[in-house]
Structure 1
Amino acid sequence: MVSLFEKLFEFQKRIHQILFSWIPFSLGDLLYILLGILLIYLIIKLFRKKTRSNSLFKILIVLNIVYFIYQIFWGMLYFQTPIIAKLPKTEVTLEVRKALALEYLEKSKATRKLVNEDKNGVFVIKDLHAIQQEILNQQKTLPTFITQKKSSDTNSFKPSLFGKTMSFTGILGYYNPFTAEAQFNAELPSSYLPFTLSHESSHQLGFAREQEANFIGYLIGVHSKNPELRYSTEYFTLKSLLNSIVEDDEKFVKTALGNYSEEMKRDRLNERKFIAEHQGYLNDFFGFTNNLFLKSNQQEGAITYSYFIDLLVRYKSMYIK
């Protein structure tokens, strides 16, 4: 049954990309705005006795239609065979995670020297379109034992119309299943952005689970010849590993952070500044609701990195003798 929805996903994605990819702005965001206006209008009519029953009926119809389309276009993909079932079993020990953290620390330090900086010495993206094209190219190189999903040459990356709001929610990007657009927050620090694009492109391939999209994003970026994409991927991997270690060995994490190159320290400071400037109740609210959404779709919460780390360790174990 799930394979049927996978085929349906590929079909609708191809059609939607043909129809919508050429539009220079996010059509999906515009549809959400129009849907929001419609619902607000119907909710207002709920307070009028004459139109209450009719408005309630229309609200239920609209919500059910949206939910039904979401499920057949996207929701059923959460029931695909997990990637972890395709990788060898291995013990995810603290020592293994530490070794990988040190490996990606050195890789990040080396790749960081290859990217551009702004006047403050912070990593800045030179060519965003080149990164997007590289992601599409790298999709074709994914290991066939992990996925045989069809890649696309169509660039459907779109900066979200809600960029400023997204900055206050902690949401870096999202995939719109109604238009097959990979939305991203264009205001993100450059250290976040390339991997965010890679992550959202993984959703475009049909990987619904968040941590699996992280893993596919990792595979897309880690071997890239584009240093901006590779650095963002290596840096994300390093941060994920350190986050998985900190509760077990805080001293190790502090030492690793101290061993960041000066360039990486500036990038980290820039990220922390961005986060601090966008903290607030909206961030807390969306963090809470996003956790509920993830768990309702049989996933871990947003702050949990263990599944991605499990996938990473299992994958890396295949190449360690």
Structure 2
Amino acid sequence: MKLTLALLFVSLAYTAIAVPIDEAVITKENAVEPTGDIPEGGRDNVELHLDGEVDEELLQGIAERNLYLLFTRRNPTSAQTLAINNAATIKTSNFNPNHRTVVIAHGWLSNQNTGLNELIRDAYLGTDETNVIILEYRRLAMANYVTAVRGIPVVGKGLGQFIRYLIGVTGARYEDIHLVGFSLGAHLVGNAGRELFGRVSRITGLDPAGPLWVLNSNRLRASDARYVEVIHTNGAYTGLGIGTSIGHADFYPNGGSSQPGCLTYICDHNRAWELFAATVSYNHLIGRKCSNSVQITLNTCRGATFPMGNHIVDKFGLGEYRVNTNRRYPF
């Protein structure tokens, strides 16, 4: 049986404080049941086939097309392009090995210009001196969903190889590296961490994509970094993210499936990166440890407190946590 998700919308461009403009068009009541990852960037007439054909030709050498864009406080809005096997691009850049490094990986049908990159980048640069590297893998991200899923491990491995090269050139430390990925990007950074044998200090998965990933051995897992944190915002049975715990610490804002102020699954899904960016700036969303999924759903968690998200690279925690938030940024 063919599983198809046809979504008609004007734009999926989010800002830090705005509700998506398409909520009146696609609601949880009138949308076709979601069966796949949804883009953060704007795209009209999206049609997704989970049983579509893999574009094998496109996957050839796909990791070589990865683009690594560096932002620091010295160049907060104008990127410097870093290249693997080209030390000059790194040595002449503003990369500082004495500062922490954050790598951001976007999701499906997105690119370097999507809102999550700018929001998270600015949150970090507004907090402390940071090397912010935005990974763009546009060619794979713009492919059909099944092709994108197939290519994520290869692109992630390429990111891992780049990080190894970057450390070799600059003397930076694995202990200062934090990988952040949204949706498909969450599994991508997981594979990057796996390529580095779990040596990076932290990975944060922002509502990791669910369709075709629940039983996929290439999905994000706790062994991919010293600490893996996952923020679940649309992990319901028909949601766009994985609803089960897959990290060291898994956070379930408002129960982990529907978010205040959202009328669409797309909004619920994208709320993960909005929440994370807010915590980088304010470190204000505190979770309560839960004993089971029933407590998460019923909001009866009474365990120890632990902050969700934030910019602390050597953070560590264990367990499942519920966080209650407001409707609008900074939540």
| TM-score, L = length of structure 1 | 0.31
Higher helix share: 1
Q: Which of the pair has more CA radius of gyration?
A: 1
- Greater RCO (Cα-Cα under 8 Å, separation 6 or more): 1
| TM-score, L = length of structure 2 | 0.31
